[in-house]
Amino acid sequence: QVQLHESGPGLLKPSETLSLICSVSGDSITSYYLIWIRQPPGRGLEWIGFVQSSGNSNYNPSLKSRVTMSVDTSKNQFSLRLTSVTAADTAVYFCATGTGWTAESWGQGTLLTVSS
Amino acid sequence: ENVLTQSPGTLSLSPGERVTLSCRASQSVAKNYLAWYQQHPGQAPRLLVDDAYTRATGIPDRFSGSGSGTDFTLTISRLEPEDFAVYYCGQFATAPITFGQGTRLEIK
């Protein structure tokens, strides 16, 4: 069973850049779609996008101009970078994996708060 | 994008009851790539059903998914206390991936 764990800053100021890492254990990330999803407090799920170790990626058009995802197969990790954050980016950020586009295994999530 | 609408928003039920949750898509979901998730407070969503009707590993058989095209349902045949949570549907056929707004199951 794949296990995932997100790590990140917790708190950022508006206009700063978010960098999150998802560490994966139990299997090689080369087998999966590597997915990021977020959930604002008290609200529903928003798909951010996915990346594969091949470099293939697909981002939500609503965030595409600010998002970059990357993969480090040597560490079995993948990462999310989101630039120019605002209060609207306050959310729990989940990483997930899937053998297809479906998010099958999830991390526990990490809360990002954007506040001055 | 394919907008998913879940109904009802909230349901108040008792353990032992049967419940059917609805998820309607604004466009047909290709190959029925529709999944259902359960989320308890403070936890990550858990995949229950994939491809509209395939239960995920370890999911009890009281959970069943059905539907095709634009109309999908998740049925819980007999509610257990641990089933009271928020349920989301998500379509994984076309980008951007989209989710419904969720249905909350409350204990009556």
pLDDT, tens only, B13-47: 999 999 999 999 999 999 999 999 999 999 999 99
pLDDT over threshold 90, residue A62: yes
Query: Could you give phi then psi for residue B99, rounded to 5 degrees?
Result: -125, 155
Rounded mean pLDDT, B67-93: 98
**Contact between residue A41 and residue A87 where contact means Cβ atoms under 8 Å apart:** no
pLDDT tops 90 at residue A1: no
A107 touches chain B (CB under 8 A): yes
| pLDDT more than 70, % of chain B | 100
> Nearest C-alpha of chain B: how many angstroms from A17?
23
- Mean pLDDT within A44-64: 97
B46 shares contact with chain A (CB less than 8 Å)? yes
Q: What are phi and psi of A15, to 5 degrees?
A: 85, -10
B25 and B39 in contact (C-beta within 8 Å)? Answer: no
Q: Is the pLDDT of residue B90 over 90?
A: yes
Which residues of chain B does A102 touch, with a Cβ-Cβ cutoff of 8 Å?
33, 35, 47, 50, 90, 92
The closest alpha carbon to B72, from B2, B6, B3, belongs to B6
User: B99 and A62: CB-CB below 8 Å?
Assistant: no
- Put simply, whether A101 touches B (Cβ < 8 Å) is yes
Which tens digits make up the pLDDT trace of A9-39?
Answer: 999 999 999 999 999 999 999 999 999 999 9
